[in-house]
Amino acid sequence: MDILLLAVELIGTFAFAVSGALLAARKGFDVVGSVLLASMAGLGGGVIRDVLIGYGPPLALENPVYLAPVLVAVVLVMTGLLHETRLRRTLLVFDAVGLSLFCLTGTVIAWEAGLTELACVLLGISTAVGGGAMRDVVANETPQIFNPRGVYAVPAMLGAALTVTALSLELSLVWAGPVIALLVFALRMISLRRGWRVPLAGRRFSAAEGNSGPSAD
Amino acid sequence: MDILLLAVELIGTFAFAVSGALLAARKGFDVVGSVLLASMAGLGGGVIRDVLIGYGPPLALENPVYLAPVLVAVVLVMTGLLHETRLRRTLLVFDAVGLSLFCLTGTVIAWEAGLTELACVLLGISTAVGGGAMRDVVANETPQIFNPRGVYAVPAMLGAALTVTALSLELSLVWAGPVIALLVFALRMISLRRGWRVPLAGRRFSAAEGNSGPSAD
Amino acid sequence: MDILLLAVELIGTFAFAVSGALLAARKGFDVVGSVLLASMAGLGGGVIRDVLIGYGPPLALENPVYLAPVLVAVVLVMTGLLHETRLRRTLLVFDAVGLSLFCLTGTVIAWEAGLTELACVLLGISTAVGGGAMRDVVANETPQIFNPRGVYAVPAMLGAALTVTALSLELSLVWAGPVIALLVFALRMISLRRGWRVPLAGRRFSAAEGNSGPSAD
């Protein structure tokens, strides 16, 4: 694999691993639980991608270098160097970095495996949101992807679609990649600051519409 | 793949996608969350099946037509054309349609992949109940398969076993398929109406049996 | 597959299946839900392992003998022969047996598939803790691996690492295997009895450090 692609993967892994370690700290897990949750957050998206592509063992299991960013993240949180109270904004920045990098690398790796364009886009999205979803599901939390404040999956969808477009046009990803990642990152951060929302999935039931109170939630 | 099999898959996908979009609406997710949850409900069972068979990329990722029923379901729920309060019975009908079709298609696809008869039955069941389980787990709900009111997995087990029997006897599925699907559908709907139950997994603790209150829950 | 390896797999499957059936009983699921949850607990670790290795259909789906320990476990719990109140210690013993056997078999099967040493260790750990994690996640519980009382993943890590060491040194597993399994089992049981803990994932927020109460949990 390209050394540049690997470097981008590792930065994204670190960003998501930090989010997993911070969640483990918030839930009172011990440091071993932190390693497990940070691994799922940091490596889960790539593992889901590789399993869906139909590779043999996922890259993250075969290459020891993937464990380094996970362990660094756990140590930084355990020692208090990364702390949610003070660095809440920093956490969101890291998470957005992971999102913007993984929708790129996920799409590229699916493309290199020879998948159709649609499959590349879907795998790019799955890579970007999969680790965070696994982190939240395993920790028994409602996943962040369903939080209607800010937009989360939309930037990943846009990034994956732009990456496939760039690959189809045979643009150099050395130039197109940073532009796409920056766009995804900016979209996510601006949506958080401005509190952007997309429409709800449906009307929630109101008293006027039906009196079946219990089924309303 | 057979065009008939594909058509049946798409109807089942639509039925489960509706259930995902309705759950997203009930939980206050936005329309992007609705797309994600409807995708998991509608496509999750087939993705689990294809991963377990050991295919390369799952059919649902490669063929764009699978996304159509998901998007239609999300739009119908978002616009209020499908609404849980009024159409609660309709939802259960759709869900039962999905269950009865997916235990059939899951078993057939596993059979065509050359798996053993047991594996075909187990994959048929996994396809039928997997998407709904993924939907509920990701939305942080106790899965419907564990709801002791009505029988849910039993019709799927029966349908998968009958499908393998029909395939072994080289019966034409054009005739046997609808009969099996109708049987599964009827069994599910009648069990709901009659409130059929199967025995519990074990005795729940009562005060007479032990005084260790906290461990009883 | 070696008959001895299969026997060890089946004992481990039984042990974890009992834990799944007991959880189903505690949550008021019916006997079909018990079969599903016991299957996930008993077979889930091996299925995760086989999917990550990139095999075709997992061993547990192809070989009917894997269902026997699951069904026996469900019957023992349903009939009350295994009962959590009286046999709480017994449950923990069974669970520890499963843990100690699965970190061994998972590592060996990954080794026989020709994976790198690191991947073998990671797959041994995943096999050992995966079924229990799937059981708890699907039943909407915070997984046992995150319970900071006693150590759970550490013995599995140690067992997997020792197994890879033994395989590298070409030691006979007929002798090394029981020693490793006993060590893992003893470490788990002693940690429970002594209440061993590893350090927490991070400091939980106190009033002195920040006044953002809601974010503290």
Q: Which helix (H) or strand (E) holds B154?
A: helix B153-168
What letter represents residue B10's amino acid? L
The interface predicted TM-score (ipTM) is 0.86
Overall number of domains in chain A? 1
Number of Cβ within a 10 Å radius of residue B149: 12
Chain C residue with Cα closest to B114: C57
Structure tokens given for C21 = 């059936």
Q: Point out the residue among A119, A133, A198 whose CB comes nearest to the CB of B57.
A: A119
Q: Identify whether B206 is part of a domain.
A: no
Q: What residues does B30 pair with on adjacent strands?
A: A200
CA Rg, chain A, in Å?
18
A142, two tokens: 């409602």
pLDDT in tens, C120-166: 999 999 999 999 999 999 998 888 888 887 788 999 999 999 999 99
Report the distance separating Cα A50 and Cα A60, nearest Å: 9
* Burial class for B78, CB neighbours closer than 10 Å (0-12, 13-18, 19+): buried
Give the DSSP H or E segment for C126. helix C117-138
Q: Are C17 and C42 in contact (CB under 8 A)?
A: yes
Q: Determine the structural domain holding residue B41 and report its residue range.
A: 3-199
pLDDT for A159: 96
> What are the pLDDT digits (tens) for A94-103?
788 999 999 9
DSSP readout, A146-164? G--SS-SHHHHHHHHHHHH
Query: Which residues are paired to C30 by β-bridges?
Result: B200
- State whether the Cα torsion A8-A10-A14-A17 is positive or negative: positive
Cα(C34)–Cα(C28) distance, integer angstroms: 9
Sort residue B112 into left (φ over 0), alpha (ψ -120 to 50) or beta.
Answer: alpha
Q: What is the DSSP letter of A1?
A: -
* Tokens standing for residue B90: 């309709």
| C209: in domain | no
What mean pLDDT is reported for chain C? 86
Name the pLDDT band for B195 (thresholds 50, 70, 90).
Answer: confident
Write down the pLDDT at residue A149: 80
Collapse the DSSP code of A215 into the 3-class scheme (helix H, G, I; strand E, B; otherwise coil) and give the result.
helix
Chain A with chain B: Cβ pairs closer than 8 A: 112
pLDDT of residue A55: 78
Q: What is the pLDDT of residues A74-93, one digit of tens each?
A: 999 988 877 766 556 666 78
| Residue A192 scores a pLDDT above 50 | yes
Query: Given this model, what pLDDT does residue B89 score?
Result: 67
Query: Would the pLDDT of A205 be above 60?
Result: no
Half-sphere exposure of A154 (CA within 13 A, CB side): 20
Q: What pLDDT sits at residue C148?
A: 80
Token pair recorded at residue A74: 């756990």
A215 lies in a domain? no
User: What's the DSSP call for residue C209?
Assistant: T
In whole angstroms, give the CA distance from residue A128 to residue A123.
8
The residue with tokens 């974890």 is: C16
pLDDT of residue C150: 79
Domain-located, residue C65: yes
Is C109 among the domain residues?
Answer: yes
Q: Which residue has the tokens 């998968």?
A: B160
Is the Cβ pair A151, B32 closer than 8 Å? yes
Question: For A204, which DSSP code?
Answer: P
Average pLDDT score over chain A: 86
Residues of chain A contacting residue B35, judged by C-beta atoms under 8 Å apart: 153
Write phi, then psi, for B87 (nearest 5 degrees).
-115, 35
What's the mean pLDDT in B9-23?
Answer: 92
Backbone phi and psi for residue C177, each to the nearest 5 degrees, phi listed first: -55, -55
> In which band, very low, low, confident or very high, does the pLDDT at A199 lie, cut at 50, 70 and 90?
confident
Does residue A73 lie in a domain region? yes
* Chain C residues near any Cβ of chain B (below 8 Å): 21-22, 24-37, 47, 51, 54-58, 61-62, 64, 67, 74, 77-78, 80, 83-86, 88, 137-140
CB C11 within 8 A of CB C101: yes
Whether the per-residue pLDDT at B1 is higher than 80: the answer is no
Closest CA to C35 of C48, C46, C20: C20
Considering the domain boundaries, does residue A173 fall inside one?
yes
Please, which residues have CB within 8 angstroms of residue B92's CB and are 6 or more apart in sequence?
B189, B192
CB C41, CB C132: distance < 8 Å: yes
Sign of CA dihedral C80, C81, C85, C90: negative
Mean pLDDT, all residues of chain B: 86
3-state secondary structure of A200: strand
Whether the CB-CB separation of B93 and B36 falls below 8 Å is answered with no
Interchain CB distance below 8 Å, A33 and C205: no
Calpha distance B145→C44 (Å, rounded): 17
Q: What is the mean pLDDT of residues C34-62?
A: 92
Mean pLDDT (whole number) for C40-58 = 91
> Which residues does chain B have within 8 Å of residue A202's beta carbon, measured at their own beta carbons?
21-22, 24-26, 34, 77-78, 80, 83
- Determine, yes or no, domain membership for C51: yes
pLDDT for the residue numbered C215: 36
Residues of B with CB under 8 A from a CB of C: 51-54, 115-116, 118-119, 122-123, 129, 133, 137, 140-143, 145-146, 148, 151-154, 197-205, 209-210, 212, 215-217
